[in-house]
Amino acid sequence: MSKQMLSFTVNGVAREVAVEPDARLLDVLRDSLGLMGTKHGCGEGECGACTVLLDGRPVTSCITLAMDAEGRKVTTIEGLASEDGTLHPIQEAFVRGQAVQCGFCTPGMILSAKALLDRSPDPTDAEIRHALSGNLCRCTGYTGIVAAIKEAAAVMRGDKAFGPLPDYGSEVVGQPVERIGARERVQGKAVFTADLQRPGMLHAAILRSPLPRARIKAIDTAKAKKLKGVHAVLAGTDLPDKRWGLLLSDEVLLARDQVRYVGERVAVVAAETPDVARRAVSLIKVDYEPLPAVLDMEEALEPGAPQVHDRPEEYGLGYFNAPLDPPKGNSTTSMLITAGDVEAGFAEADVVVEEEYRTMPQHQGHIETHVALAQPEPGGRVTVYASTQVPFTIRHAVATYLDIPMSKVRAVAMETGGGFGNKVPIFVEPVAAALALACGRSVRLQYSRQDELVDSRPRAATIARVKTGAKRDGTLVARRLMFLVDNGAYCDCGPLTAGATVEAGRGPYRIPNVRLESHSVYTNKFNTGPFRAPGFPQVTFALESQMDALAAKLRMDPIELRRKNALRTGDTTFVGTTIRHDVFYRCLEAVVEKMAGDPATEHEGWGVGCGEWRTGGFPCGAVFKVNEDGTVALTIGSNDLTGSATSIAQVAAQELGIGLEGLSLVLGDTDAAPLAAPSAGSMVTFNMTNVVRKGARELVEKLKGLASEELDQPVEALEVADGRVFVRDDPETGIGFSELCAAQPIGVSVSHGRIPSTHAFCVNGVKVRVDPVTGEVTVLRATSAIDCGRAINPASVHGQASGGFVQAVGMALYEEIVQDADDGHVMTQGLTEYRMPTAKDVPSVETIIIEGDPSASEGHGAKGIGEPVHVPGVAAIANAIAAATGTRLYATPMTPERILRARGLDQR
Amino acid sequence: MEYLAPTALKEALAILRRPRGGPCVVAGGTDVLPRVATGKRRRPKQLVSIGRLPGLDKISLAAKGVLRIGARVTLAEVAASRQVARRLQGLIEAASSIGSEQIRNKATLVGNICSASSAADAIPPLLCADAVVEVAGSKGRRRVPIEELMAGPRKLSLKAGELVLAVRIPKPKGRIGSVYRRHGPRRAMDCATVIAAAQVTARKGQIVEARLAVGAVHAVPVRCPTGEAVLAGRAPDDDALAEAAEAVAAEVQPISDIRASAEHRRTIVRRIVPEVVLEAFTRAGGTR
């Protein structure tokens, strides 16, 4: 096909480009013109990350033919700031209003906002949400974005001006400091993995299993290898016979003898274009012998069920090295916690409720799909650039799968467009690395949205059977819980999902007699994995729904029931920490106060959900180096998806007595940094502020020690501020870091082992309206009270709470990866079918920060908050629906169909 | 895939005479391109853009009060049109609830009709309005009612070498009330689970004529003649509305898919028909 000439104006400049006739505008902007601010998120016009303005109107460039832009004007995010670099007011408002987290949806969002404000200078919240409803954001929950657009509108109308940027000096902890990198993100300058180009770079494609379980008799790759432009074709037997996994080393990179789910990776190709790679995949022939499969987690536990793995007890421990009993058949883990005498407890109960709750698989929905670029290096090394939460885990998995020492692998975390757990398991990067080493060229593997839904690591389906008993006055006396987690074909984080959850099986209440049990189960379906507080939203849906059901049976206000049994000051949490300053009760009361001011009317209802989470300690290191001019470089191995680096920098800068300007951060490079907390489990801020503050203190001591010699003063007499060491009683006498550094290089490398785990509560209050005719649910209000220890950056806490709640709205009302009952294949193949909340589906979230119970982290007692803010939302929505309709739902998502059926309105 | 953007109708029709499965007409491309990209539609040999054909970008009044909407008119333009608002409020509601701002800026009304999708939002109100499309072919022009244009799900009854130039909405006799209502879990970006449209003429407390259509229920959007017959000449009291709802629920043959079961679709139809009819009656100036 011959190329055609396209003449159009891009950001005010006339451009002429030769393009393939069927090229998408997105690809021409990115690949031909190098305008990388336009992002690829779904390829079907559903997510809005690729939004550009065509003659001033927003369009999705992934479904716009480049040739359709002939003679027209295109504006991309790169065209918004003035030539002198001054940001457009919308960009400035996004930065100041903390409307930016990962930054992947940001360029498209800002362009949609610009088109709106150009035609409607004073829009209402509803108009803004309508205009943004084609731009999905999975991090912010839209609250900050809507506020920022209102602010920008006021500035653009001339009603107000941006004030000077606040100067927090060196006392930055606890301040809403601007997110590091926000200015680059609003201009589309943040570099994500797919923005990297390498000479001679190849593209990978994957052949997937069409069957839920089958023996691979033969694979014929000859035809694929012969296709022009193909450089490598690999099947399972071309790789070392190695298994890997987060908790159990049970997964192969490419299927060897057997396939275990529809969508499992069977063979991979590297070719000169994505198109050639896909064509090559279609030329690979596989001879399968179908085997009986098991698709239902309860059936999988029955005697005689098909066994997903032949000898699972032989698998070794996984990456996290957590001590686990070996799997027994299809049961990968069993957990049992007992306390008191549960039978006696139920015998003394006046009221007992017993129910079963189910949740369906939910995708994390990060707008940037999985993507990795592997680059061969001299000496047989390979560098893997990736969209990830865990560079060190990548290095471990690549080294294991390819059977090479870790010294041969470097993993670099690029800017990452959301992860929410799905970028913790490793299944993309080693494929790219294997192909790159096989053909000696850089290889990019980029997941499509379909790949995401078919073979990533979504939230597991669960069944929770709960029975709770109480005295007539509401005192809880006994609980029995059986919790089943559908792992899918490999373990990944199933044991963790099933294990930690039962430890929290009492909920934030005193229950003396319990029997809490869980199993994670192998089935012949896609793998599941960690998703924002693995297991907790699922089990909390059951536990907190049952609290309301119990209250109803007791004819008691559900808030009263919670108050009566709540963990109070001095009580011990499931993590083992002791509650101070009554933080749980205060979270609850803060939400109740909001509810009281806004009573529900007809067809409306308020619901409450109470959640909690354990943030674990993780072995971490950090390296500080003083630069010759007295500024400081801090190198850490964690990377930043949410704004955590800003909090870490705040702690370091304050301790060192330098402003944030004097500190630079190097993130997520396994060659440069010591091991660090994964950006998962709410661990980064909690762990990294601890080790970083420790390091900063050591560095200050070192600087004081050197200054003490230079100044001939005792160390105790010295202070540090503004990049110099000086005598406390004589501040004129001092010496700059740069002078100290001139004599010898100064730095420290610090580390900590596992610091004691911490715990956080979060309470949601949600008001919904349920349409009496159709069963459609509208979320009218949402409040979130979060026990965060110390809010290092309050703006960041607000952003997390809003985003965490809106993700819960998705799980509660819309989202389900639908799998075929016969073979488990995924039927929701794109974002048209897999529906995530848009700006129009949710209200702004009101966040209440509750401090007073700091964690053991030396980093000012910060707690992990990313997970807890997501935990109670589904339960709160379920309770609100029950309050509005008088009917309880026992499965997610709570669709109009399920609501009408539960209410018995489906035949009327 | 070849991209062709003819600048004259004759040229376009000549291209479209190529064998079936070859050329595929695109206006905004918001339906065809994602379906090709995700493998839901075969790759056409030629993409034939109508973006440069003259005379298709207007909403205009033709003879006998017919409102003519050209094939290049976008949903955003339809949604913002006062002429359309005066004529067919339900079409405004349909056009403004399709997809997102980004989609409505590119997708065209005629494109939505020609998708012949079960869930094409604009079709039910147009069915109620007895709208026809204007088709050009080698033997000149002909007019085809939308019902006849749809040969089946995602299938048109057009012959090779034919192109839809516009949709024509006839002038109704007297004042009408036109309503469009969609059902689905989300409030934006949703492919509807059920669409219902009504067009009513009223005299004081009585329905003179009611037209009903549903979308996303059958394999293609359809009129509901049994329900319409129930309502003609009656006052829209609860009995009449319930009877009509039952009649429509009985006559539809809903599809079942991952969005909803057939039963749920039937339930929703039964439950929203009274609302939709009553709202159309009120808009028609009727008083209950």
Q: What pLDDT score was predicted for residue A908?
A: 61
Report the Cα A521 to chain-centroid distance in Å: 24
pLDDT tens-place string over residues A95-122:
999 999 999 999 999 999 999 999 999 9
Q: Is B262 exposed, middle or buried (0-12, 13-18, 19+ CB in 10 A)?
A: middle
**Contact between B264 and A900 using a beta-carbon 8 Å cutoff:** yes
Chain B: give the shortest CA distance to residue A801, in Å.
22
% chain B with pLDDT above 70: 100
Ranges assigned E (strand) in A591-716: 604-615, 620-626, 632-636, 663-667
- pLDDT confidence of A1, banded at 50, 70, 90? low
Q: Which two tokens stand for residue A499?
A: 């294990």
How much is the pLDDT for A500? 83
Q: CA nearest A113 in B: which residue?
A: B101
Could you tell me which residues come within 8 angstroms of residue A613 by beta carbon, excluding any fewer than 6 positions away? A533, A536, A682, A759, A760, A762, A864, A867, A868, A871
**Cβ–Cβ below 8 Å for A67 and B100:** no
Confidence of residue A263 (pLDDT cuts 50, 70, 90): very high
Tokens matching residue B246: 């039952």
Inter-chain contact B103–A45, Cβ cutoff 8 Å?
yes
CA distance A692 to chain B (A): 44
Which helix (H) or strand (E) element contains residue A117?
helix A106-119
Judging contacts by C-beta atoms under 8 Å, the chain A residues touching residue B272 are 773-774
Q: Is B285 exposed, middle or buried (0-12, 13-18, 19+ CB in 10 A)?
A: middle
Interface test with B, best of A50, A61, A68 (most B CBs within 10 A): A68
A54 to chain B: which residues are within 8 Å by CB? 105-106
Positive/negative CA dihedral, A222, A227, A231, A232: negative
- Residue B190: what pLDDT? 86
Top residue of A53, A834, A897, A901 to mutate, by most chain B CBs within 10 Å, is A897
Q: Out of A4, A63, A905, name the one closest to residue B34 (CB).
A: A63
Total beta-carbon pairs less than 8 A apart between chain A and chain B: 151
How much is the average pLDDT of A653-669?
94
Comparing CB atoms, the residue among B37, B106, B188 nearest residue A841 is B188
What are the residues facing B225 on neighbouring strands? none
- Residue type for position A500: A
The answer to whether the Cβ–Cβ distance between A907 and B272 falls below 8 Å is no
pLDDT computed for residue B40 by the predictor: 87
Q: Are A387 and A370 in contact (CB under 8 A)?
A: yes
Over the Cα atoms of chain A, what is R_g? 28
State mean pLDDT over B119-137: 98
Q: From the list A44, A774, A813, which residue is nearest B271 (CB)? A: A774
CB contact (8 A) between residue B38 and residue A450: yes
Provide the Cα torsion A471, A474, A476, A478; round to 10°: 40
Least confident of A254-258, A320-324, A476-480, B157-161: A320-324
Distance (Å, rounded) from C-alpha B195 to C-alpha B199?
14
In this prediction, residue A322 carries a pLDDT of 86
Question: Cβ of A636 under 8 Å from any chain B Cβ?
Answer: no
Query: Looking at CA atoms only, how far is residue A830 from chain B in angstroms?
Result: 8
CB contact under 8 A, A4 and B3: yes
Distance CA A468, CA B44 (A): 60
Task: Give pLDDT, residue A152.
Answer: 98
Examine the pLDDT at A884 and tell me if it is beyond 90: yes
Q: Among A648, A583, A639, which residue's Cα sits nearest to residue A173? A: A648
Residue A462 has what pLDDT? 97
A845 closest CA partner among A797, A813, A883: A797
| Mean pLDDT value across residues A158-181 | 93
3-state DSSP call for residue A300? helix
- Give the nearest partner residue to B186 out of A51, A818, A838, using CB atoms: A838
Asked if residue B122 has pLDDT above 80, the reply is yes
Average predicted confidence (pLDDT) for chain A: 96
Cβ neighbours of residue A422 closer than 8 Å, sequence gap 6 or more: A363, A364, A366, A370, A456, A457, A458, A529, A530, A531
The nearest CA of chain A is from the CA of B23 a distance in Å of: 13
ipTM: 0.96
Q: Give chain B's contact residues with A (Cβ, < 8 Å).
A: 1-3, 5, 26, 29-30, 33-34, 37-38, 47, 49, 51, 76, 99-103, 105-106, 183-191, 193, 258-261, 263-264, 267-268, 270-272, 275
Distance to chain A for B77, nearest Cα, Å: 12
The tens digit of pLDDT for each residue in A501-520 reads: 899 999 999 999 999 999 99
- Considering only the beta carbons, identify the residue of A112, A115, A829 that sits closest to B38: A829
Please report which confidence band the pLDDT of residue A323 belongs to, taking 50, 70 and 90 as the band edges: confident
A473-488: average pLDDT: 98
B34: chain A residues, CB-CB within 8 Å: 43-46, 63, 830, 832
Q: Radius of gyration over alpha carbons of chain B, in Å?
A: 19
> Would the CB atoms of B37 and A134 count as touching at under 8 Å?
no
In terms of average pLDDT, the best of A715-729, B19-33, B36-50 is A715-729
Contact A133/B at CB under 8 A: yes
For residue A908, list chain B residues with Cβ-Cβ distance below 8 A: 267, 270-271
Which of A235 and B43 is assigned the larger pLDDT?
A: A235
Confidence of residue B288 (pLDDT cuts 50, 70, 90): confident
Q: Which of B25, B49, B100 to mutate against chain A (most A CBs within 10 Å)? A: B100
Calpha distance A129→B39 (Å, rounded): 31
Closest C-alpha to A280, from A231, A352, A337, A347: A231
CB contact under 8 A, B188 and A134: yes
Question: Is A829 touching B (CB cutoff 8 A)?
Answer: yes
What single string gives the DSSP state of each residue in A473-509? Answer: TS-EEEEEEEEEEEEESS-TTHHHHHHHHHHTTT-SB
Please give the Cα distance from A869 to A532 (Å, whole number): 9
CB-CB neighbors (< 8 A) of B185 in chain A: 776-777, 813-814, 835, 893, 895-896
pLDDT category, A170, cuts 50, 70, 90? Answer: confident
pLDDT tens for A147-161 read 999 999 999 999 999
Distance CA A523, CA B11 (A): 57
DSSP-H helix ranges across A712-846: 737-743, 794-809
Alpha-carbon distance A59 to nearest alpha carbon in chain B (angstroms): 4
Task: Give contacts of A832 with chain B, Cβ < 8 Å.
Answer: 34, 191
Count of CB atoms within 10 A of residue A644's CB?
A: 31
**Partner residue opposite A131 with nearest CB, options B1, B101, B187:** B101
The 8-class DSSP code of residue A279 comes to H
Would you put residue A22 in left (φ > 0), alpha (ψ -120 to 50) or beta? alpha
Q: Which residues of A touch B5 (CB under 8 A)?
A: 67, 70
Other CB atoms within 10 Å distance of the CB of residue B251: 15
Using one digit for the tens of pLDDT, what is the confidence trace for A435-448? 999 999 999 999 99
Nearest chain B Cα distance for residue A233, angstroms: 23
Band of pLDDT at residue A64, cut at 50, 70 and 90: very high
Quick one: what percent of chain B has pLDDT higher than 90?
91
Mean pLDDT of A680-690: 94
Residues of B in contact with A813 (CB under 8 A): 185
A777 → chain B, closest CA residue: B185
A44–B37 CB contact, under 8 Å: yes
Cis bond leading into A893, ω under 30°? Answer: yes
For the stretch A572-595, pLDDT in tens is 999 999 999 999 999 999 999 999
Contacts of A707 (CB under 8 A, 6+ apart): A713, A718, A725, A734, A735, A740
Find the closest chain A residue to B2 by CA distance: A21
Nearest residue in B to A127, CA atom = B101
| Residue B21 confidence (pLDDT) | 76
Confidence of residue A353 (pLDDT cuts 50, 70, 90): very high
